[in-house]
Amino acid sequence: MGLFYAETSIVAQKQTDVLGSFVSNYFDMGSNVPSIFQVPDTINHLPPGMIGQDGAGWYISIVSWEKI
C-alpha cells in the first residue's frame, strides 16, 4: 500500500498491484495492465503540505479589486 508521487513520470516494468494512488505527469506501464485499488482512507494519512491533507486549506489574498 502506498501513495506514489513522481514529478515527471512513473514507469512500471512488471505487473503492478497497488493499494493507494499514483500521481504523476506521465505514466509508462509498458505492455502491463496495472491493478490500482483506491483506498478512501488515504486522505487521513497524507504527509504535510499535500493537497487534500486533513486540516489543509486554501488562502486567497485580494491584490486589487475594481467595481465595474
For the four alpha carbons of 59, 63, 67 and 68, in that order, the dihedral sign comes to negative
| pLDDT at residue 8 in the model | 87
Q: What is the pLDDT along the chain (68 residues), one digit of tens a residue?
A: 777 888 888 888 888 888 888 888 888 888 888 888 887 777 677 766 666 555 555 566 777 777 77
Which range of residues forms the domain containing residue 12? 1-68
Spatial separation of the C-alpha atoms in residues 14 and 17, rounded to whole Å: 10
**Beta strand ranges found along the chain (DSSP E):** 2-6, 10-11, 17-24, 27-28, 35-37
Report pLDDT digits (tens) over 47-58.
Answer: 666 665 555 555
| pLDDT at residue 50 in the model | 64
Whether this prediction's pTM lies above 0.85 is answered by no
Domain tally, the chain: 1
CA 41, 42, 47 angle in degrees (round to 5)?
A: 140
| pLDDT at residue 36 in the model | 83
Nearest to 33 by CA among 54, 16, 47, 8: 16
